[in-house]
Chain A
Amino acid sequence: MGVNDAKVEFQSVAREQIPWLYALARRLSGEGAEDVVQECLVKAFRSYDDLRDIEAAPAWFRAILMNCARDRFRRTTSGINETPLEEESDYSLYRTIADEDPWPYSDSVHVDFLHSFTEEHVWEVLDRLKPMYRIPLVLVHMEGLDVRNVSRMLGAPHNTVLSWLHRGRKQFERELWEYAEEHGLLKQRKESQR
């Protein structure tokens, strides 16, 4: 393929990928998604010759974007061994909901709690997580990667990723509850039961 043909192809392929890349970047990097996509496009253009099979373009772009998010993650987590508050690892949303019992007339209070969140709420909760917890959580639970792959991608030992995941889930649980309290989600459901 000539240089000019490659440039034309890159334009077309990259434009097709942008919505998916942005969605993934938004999950991984929150408010920094724009910069991650921009960085991904620049890197993809520079190494476009490496893409041999056009059918593999989605996975190829996705891998580059994940690497960009990873690099950003490394830059923003100089305190990578940061130990969170001990209380984080003991938190249980299940127990909090059972103890607080926000909707006493419900037979499925735990599921009701999750159903009180709209899509926008979930995004706002995700935005509250620290990158070091958010990224492994997104890769495993939203992108469906296994821990071994995430460990390789982030250049962190398997057990470290497991620990980030554990703390990330606990932080996510705590943020869900706090968000629901702050935004009146518990009250809204109570009122709708009357």
Chain B
Amino acid sequence: MIDCSAAVGRLWDYLERELTPADRAKFEEHLDFCRRCCGELEFAEELRRFMARTPDVELPPSLVARFDRLITELAGDGTQ
């Protein structure tokens, strides 16, 4: 039987399905009786969704101009 510290250490690997079947079984066995680690797991899932929602950034106009110039420098004006 693993303790809370070991369970928390394996929590993300559990979510990412990186645990071996034996370690997965030990982790789930711990969850069966540990309410706090169930909370940790739910929060980790929430945190994972939070990270996945990280917004796109807008390209500042100054950079649009800079990249535009670079592309023109690289490929010319396309007429030669």
Selected from A27, A114, A119, A122, the residue in CB contact (under 8 A) with B46 is: A114
Selected from A42, A119, A122, A162, the residue in CB contact (under 8 A) with B18 is: A162
With A10-B75, A142-B54, A165-B12 in contact, is A147–B43 under 8 Å at CB?
no
Decide: A8 and B78 in contact? CB cutoff 8 A. yes
Measured CB to CB, the closest approach of chain A to B23, in angstroms, equals 13
Residues of B5-53 whose CB lies within 8 A of A? 5, 8-9, 12-13, 16, 18, 39-40, 43-44, 46-48, 50-52
Measured CB to CB, the closest approach of chain B to A142, in angstroms, equals 5
Decide: A110 and B13 in contact? CB cutoff 8 A. no
Give the A-B pair count, Cβ closer than 8 A.
Answer: 100
A-B pairs, 5 with minimum CB distance: A8-B78, A141-B51, A7-B75, A119-B55, A94-B43
Measured CB to CB, the closest approach of chain A to B30, in angstroms, equals 15
Interface of B, secondary structure class, is helix
Selected from A90, A110, A122, the residue in CB contact (under 8 A) with B43 is: A110
Selected from A38, A92, A144, A169, the residue in CB contact (under 8 A) with B70 is: A38
* A174 interface contact, C-beta 8 A: no
Contacts of B47 in A (CB 8 A): 93, 114, 169, 173
**Alpha-carbon separation in the docked complex, A165 to B18 (Å):** 12
Interface residues on A, range: 35 or more
Measured CB to CB, the closest approach of chain A to B68, in angstroms, equals 7
**A34 nearest CB neighbor, chain B only:** B63
**B39 nearest CB neighbor, chain A only:** A94
* A22 interface contact, C-beta 8 A: yes
